[in-house]
Chain A
């Protein structure tokens, strides 16, 4: 597709349920980021992939959060045993990636996000 696609757009989960959020980045984009945006707050970094390699997962809030990108394109963010504090919009962004000092390749393209509500 022409842009970054995320699914589902909305997800309601019961506390304790596992959820999986999908991100289809722009074709050919090397870098893929997941961000979490709580209501009224700015997005917070969760994790970063360069192709299939997860190079940074320092933002994942707990070991209940797991992300993968096995073939270097589609990525899935999985949250196990959801808690109410997991309620947020989960944003995926992709970029061409960067090569040396070529800063233009860091421009990020965002999906519409998945709004997760844990009840």
Chain B
């Protein structure tokens, strides 16, 4: 079993829909990261959080430490949101990232 699990693996939405991607982890962490990767592109950090909720534009990330669960929400989705969204956690002496397998999101116009 992976230490970081994401669902769904693939998601297709219509423009304007509200989107939720879920992440569960089984290890102790110092922080949880939501990352975005476009095809052929590098990885961009969207959020880093250790408690509560953060909002940036149309993106909202929440984390429940007790339940070891986080969600990434996208409001009013747009085709340019199409990308792979990756949940990753840091912890331990080196704070290396442990990645989930990603969620491939396609937003259709």
Contact status A110-B96, CB under 8 Å: no
Residues of A within 8 A of B93 (CB): 55-56
Contact status B101-A104, CB under 8 Å: no
Identify which of B14-22, B43-51, B62-70, B71-79 touches chain A: B43-51
Task: Please report which residues of chain B, range 30-50, place their CB below 8 angstroms from some CB of chain A when the two chains form the complex.
Answer: 30-31, 33, 35, 41-45, 48, 50
Task: Please report which residues of chain A, range 39-67, place their CB below 8 angstroms from some CB of chain B when the two chains form the complex.
Answer: 41-45, 48, 50, 55-56
Give the docked Cα–Cα distance between A14 and B102 (Å).
30
Residues of A within 8 A of B86 (CB): 42-43
Of B43, B50, B90, which contacts A91 at CB under 8 A? B43
Of B41, B48, B94, B101, which contacts A41 at CB under 8 A? B101
Give the docked Cα–Cα distance between A41 and B98 (Å).
13
List the B residue with the shortest CB-CB distance to A56. Answer: B94
Contact status B95-A106, CB under 8 Å: yes
Contact status A35-B97, CB under 8 Å: yes
Contact status A108-B102, CB under 8 Å: no
Q: How far is the CB of B54 from chain A (nearest CB, A)?
A: 12
**Beyond A91-B42, A91-B43, is A108–B97 a contact (Cβ under 8 Å)?**
yes
Give the docked Cα–Cα distance between A109 and B45 (Å).
7
Task: Please report which residues of chain A, range 63-77, place their CB below 8 angstroms from some CB of chain B when the two chains form the complex.
Answer: none
Give A contacts to B, CB under 8 Å: 31, 33, 35, 41-45, 48, 50, 55-56, 91, 93, 95, 98, 101, 103-104, 106-113
